[in-house]
Structure 1
Amino acid sequence: MTTTETYGAGRTPTRFQAKIDRWLGRSEQTAVGRWFWEIDRVLLLLVLLLIAIGLVSVAAASPASAQRYSGGSVTFAPLTFFWKQLMWVAVSLPVMLAVSMLPITLARRAALMGAAFFSILLILTPIIGVEVNGAKRWIGVGISQFQPSEFLKPLYVIAMAWILSLRATDRTLPVVPITGAMTLILAAALMKQPDLGQTVIFLALWVTLLIISGTSMKFVGALGGMAVAGLVCAYLFYDTARLRIDGFLFSEGDTYQTDMAHATITAGGLLGSGPGGGEAKFRLPEAHTDYVFSVIGEEFGLIACMGVALVFLAIVVRVFLKLLDEQDEFKLLAAAGLAVQFGLQAFINMAVNVQIAPSKGMTLPFISYGGSSMIALSMGMGLLLAFTRRNPYLNKSPYIIRWSGR
């Protein structure tokens, strides 16, 4: 494309315009330029919107959590958790953008190696993990700690998608038993921690990928029957599941957290009490993490909560619309699985906050406070952006290709 075609006759580009065109122009072959035109910019903007909402939400919840965790020789400033979250966002955004630039083959290989690494860590977590509130879900690293299951979720999706996609080249491969056995091993490790919420996520992702890959619906129906039987067995023999179910259905045991979450989210009515005007949040445990959605309800109103839910829905719908004409089996399974994982985690968190699901201890993606969670989510979203990248000149007319200089 010539300078006249780009800027118009009689116009000379400024140095800044020329530099931007050199990096991001359609006719340029720089890595950044190709990425800019191939990336789903609408999807990227929706994710950035969620991150911005998250910063505002953590700022609203931070005074309540700072007051709750201050005591003895430890005193937190009111906006401590906001400033920490801002730091984690500054670390996570480059991770997301860098991963989204990876070629598909390299992204797949890196994800498979990461899946193997974090699977081993997940299995070892009940042995070497740090106990917090009666559960060993974290591994300590120096002065910090991280949750292997958070990093494993997107990588698990890629690994399962790759194995299931192999059936397209060889129908005799036993991909369903292989992926099923791997999933059950991970589920057993999660239940040992115990972490019932993440166990449900991994099992649901496996079944979702089976359905998308074209597995017989009779087999999927049989899995549904086995899931019901497994739930009954978990209630009878797995104390964590029984306590959660009894607390949800019969209000037995300690239901303080879910009761306060419901009281907080409804305290602001439709329009909310205004930024900083919430009072119920000061009685809410984990206001900046698991129950930040309730703080949004109190300070910004139920309408704002619906708006947040619509942003999550828009991200999932955007991905599935993008995949309607996808021909690559692996990219289809990987991107769809990542979108389902993202949407399912958001749905479970919001469902817990409005008391239509038992407490799971699960964060709201890109909105809840958390360093390792933010980095893991950014890595997963980077993979999703990478697998939904499209060459803008494919399926274009020869005239458009010639005009663009390609």
Structure 2
Amino acid sequence: MAMGMVAVAAASPASAHRLSTSQTALNDLYFYWTHLRWQALGLIVLFITSMVPREWARRGSVLLAGAMLLALMLVPILGVEVNGARRWINLGVRFQPSEFLKPAFAVTMAWILSWRLRDPGMPVIGITAGVLALITALLMMQPNLGEAILFVGCWLIMVILAGLPLQRVGIIGGAGIALLAAAYTFYDNARHRIDAFLGGGTAFDQVDLARRTLMGGGWTGTGLWLGARKMSLPEAHTDYIFSVIGEEFGLLVCGLVVIVYLAIVLRVLYRLMNEEDLFTILAASGLIALFGGQAFINIMVNLQLFPSKGMTLPLVSYGGSSTIALCFGIGLLLSITRRNPFLSRSKFDLRRLLEKERAA
């Protein structure tokens, strides 16, 4: 978040100039000061959520998932359209339901999948797949292909950890490829972005502009507020902030940002190696998959290795809904994985637990 504070300060002038009009001229640091307020609120949400008992975190996440799913259903009716996409609801404060649904989705799916320990015959995979299909359909109506892919990836990781047979994984993978082909055929937004990606872009394409901006600073960058290419880059403070970091602070700092994300993901996975509770393993894995997956997609888009998705860089990009929701997700991760360090623990063995349940 400290990196994000500096990065938004670097990107704010570019976005302020692009969004200023003859009637309203935005201050160069307009987005920077607003971002600081969102970060402060996000940190409060993070620390409060992290102190919540695990059982309360689970119950609250299930209730939040239901509320955000309902809000997602209302987006096509009451949603606010921005840049050709209807993803936001304005209730005095504009927010994006899918952002808050992501952490709640991971915890709720973990709760449902953990029912398998009580009844191995319960169709938990089918139940979670039905919920996922509904969410994916609602996201595609916005349109929001990037978030849909993120939800599907998170669910797939969780069901594999829950014991989904590998042959079914292959079937699901084939179905996913078929759905992407269908999206390319019938979904104009996806087709245009994939075509632009495969075609290599043009000098006026935003993904190509992002790559040029990223490479413009070389290894060490031009220096804070000295970048020139960022001034022509759309969404410099949100979707393409990684490119602004590359131009003004250099590719070495971009590498440092990647290392920080990898360190967070690896720290969570290392923490789960000695965990014995299935719900904790699934919930933490889902939350970190969403976090790491979003960072991976954003960085790959900026490197022109992935079609444009309109997805922020976690905890770095400017954003209200994004910052608060990500801080809430990290708070949940801390709450769910907390335990007494003086308690002894053994490695988790799903097969042993299932055999024990059958015997009982």
Same fold (TM over 0.5): yes
Mapped to 2, the partners of 1:179 and 1:255 lie a distance apart of 42
Paired residues of 1:235 and 1:241 also in contact (CA < 8 A):
yes
Paired residues of 1:247 and 1:254 also in contact (CA < 8 A):
no
Match of 2:343, as an amino acid?
Answer: L
Mapped to 2, the partners of 1:182 and 1:217 lie a distance apart of 22
Q: CA deviation at 1:119?
A: 0.6
The aligned counterpart of 2:248 is: 299
TM-score by length of 2: 0.94
Q: Quick check: 1:107 aligned with 2:107?
A: no
Q: Quick check: 1:57 aligned with 2:7?
A: yes
The aligned counterpart of 2:199 is: 250
Matching of residues 333-352 of structure 1 within 5 Å: 333-352=282-301
Q: CA deviation at 1:190?
A: 0.3
Match of 2:306, as an amino acid?
Answer: A
Q: Against the structure 1 CA distance between its residues 254 and 174, is the aligned structure 2 distance closer, same or farther, given a 3 Å change threshold? A: farther
Match of 2:270, as an amino acid?
Answer: L
Matching of residues 152-301 of structure 1 within 5 Å: 152-251=101-200, 256-301=205-250
Once the two structures are superposed, residues 305-335 of structure 1 have per-residue CA deviations (whole angstroms, 9 ceiling, x without a partner) of 0100110010000000000011111011000
Query: What stretches of structure 1 of length at least 5 have no aligned partner?
Result: 1-50, 397-406
Match of 1:350, as an amino acid?
Answer: I
Q: CA deviation at 1:395?
A: 2.7
Match of 2:2, as an amino acid?
Answer: A
Mapped to 1, the partners of 2:61 and 2:109 lie a distance apart of 11
Mapped to 1, the partners of 2:82 and 2:202 lie a distance apart of 20
Paired residues of 1:246 and 1:253 also in contact (CA < 8 A):
no
Paired residues of 2:145 and 2:190 also in contact (CA < 8 A):
yes
- How many residue pairs align between the two structures? 345
Q: Quick check: 1:394 aligned with 2:343?
A: yes
Matching of residues 112-131 of structure 1 within 5 Å: 112-131=62-81
Q: Quick check: 1:88 aligned with 2:54?
A: no
Mapped to 2, the partners of 1:243 and 1:164 lie a distance apart of 37
Q: Quick check: 1:331 aligned with 2:280?
A: yes
Mapped to 2, the partners of 1:240 and 1:178 lie a distance apart of 29
Mapped to 2, the partners of 1:75 and 1:263 lie a distance apart of 27
1:141 to 83, 91, 97: 91
The aligned counterpart of 2:47 is: 97
Q: Against the structure 1 CA distance between its residues 260 and 152, is the aligned structure 2 distance closer, same or farther, given a 3 Å change threshold? A: same
The aligned counterpart of 1:21 is: none
Match of 2:318, as an amino acid?
Answer: Y
Q: State the identity as a percent.
A: 52
The aligned counterpart of 2:349 is: none
Paired residues of 1:243 and 1:253 also in contact (CA < 8 A):
no
Q: CA deviation at 1:251?
A: 4.2
Query: What stretches of structure 2 of length at least 5 have no aligned partner?
Result: 346-360
Paired residues of 1:247 and 1:255 also in contact (CA < 8 A):
no
Once the two structures are superposed, residues 131-177 of structure 1 have per-residue CA deviations (whole angstroms, 9 ceiling, x without a partner) of 111111000122x3110000000100011100001101110111011
- Match of 1:136, SS state, is strand
Q: CA deviation at 1:362?
A: 0.2
Mapped to 2, the partners of 1:239 and 1:184 lie a distance apart of 20
The aligned counterpart of 1:376 is: 325
Q: Against the structure 1 CA distance between its residues 252 and 321, is the aligned structure 2 distance closer, same or farther, given a 3 Å change threshold? A: closer
Q: CA deviation at 1:185?
A: 0.5
Higher Rg of the two aligned structures = 1
Once the two structures are superposed, residues 244-267 of structure 1 have per-residue CA deviations (whole angstroms, 9 ceiling, x without a partner) of 111110247996211110010000
- Match of 1:395, SS state, is coil
What is the RMSD of the two structures over their aligned residues, measured on CA atoms?
1.3
Paired residues of 2:236 and 2:244 also in contact (CA < 8 A):
yes
Paired residues of 1:60 and 1:295 also in contact (CA < 8 A):
yes
